[in-house]
Amino acid sequence: MNPNLRAEIVKHIFANFGVIPSKYVSDKTRSLINKEYLLSEKVTFKDEGGVIENRVWGCQLSSDIQEVKILLADCTQEEQSPEYCLLVQLKNTPAYGVYLIFNESFGNQINSACMIAYSLDSTSWFECGTFLQATFLGGMEQIRETGFAWNKVTNYQEQYKSLVGFIKYHSSIYEAEYEGQEG
């Protein structure tokens, strides 16, 4: 697995949702970090100074035949290195988790901590190989190009559970301390 390619895919996905800046994304792109999509749930982390409680946003795109739900968590624990976790799930399919640590002052991401993984059951996570990463990127491009309006997510408890599970999975690999409090 090529970590630089994975990092570019992750960065591109977060840029498409307006989470990080990108010269390749149009000015019309609406950020998922928007009060319209803000949820009451939080993600909580422990650090030397105590407990950090961060926001979660969610949106969905629904059509007559399909529905995709997307949750975004701010996992930042150090101001100079914002961290984000994105969970994407098409109805009746595996959930995909995408994690990014981004250092804006360098205009770059920390390649080694970028991750794309999938889960069939919201608790067991597996890193995606190159083929699944490319397939996921292709799906994200299709979603972006539909041009349909996003709505605030509803009935997302399973996706939130998956989001928390993915953050724990990423933390277990990269040794961050996720408090694990839901709600």
> Which pLDDT score, from 0 to 100, does residue 35 have?
93
> Which pLDDT score, from 0 to 100, does residue 109 have?
47
> Which pLDDT score, from 0 to 100, does residue 25 have?
55
Instruction: State the Cα–Cα distance between residues 73 and 85, nearest whole angstrom.
Output: 5
Residue 89 lies in a domain: yes
> Which pLDDT score, from 0 to 100, does residue 162 have?
96
The answer to whether the pTM exceeds 0.85 is yes
> Which pLDDT score, from 0 to 100, does residue 26 have?
54
Residue 180 lies in a domain: no
Residue 49 lies in a domain: yes
Residue 183 lies in a domain: no
SS3 content of the chain, % helix, strand, coil (to 5): 30, 35, 35
Q: How many structural domains are present in the chain?
A: 1
- Regions in the chain scoring below 50 on pLDDT: 105-107, 109, 177-178, 183
Q: Look at residue 181 and give its three-state secondary structure.
A: coil
Q: Whole domain around residue 116: which residue ranges?
A: 3-174
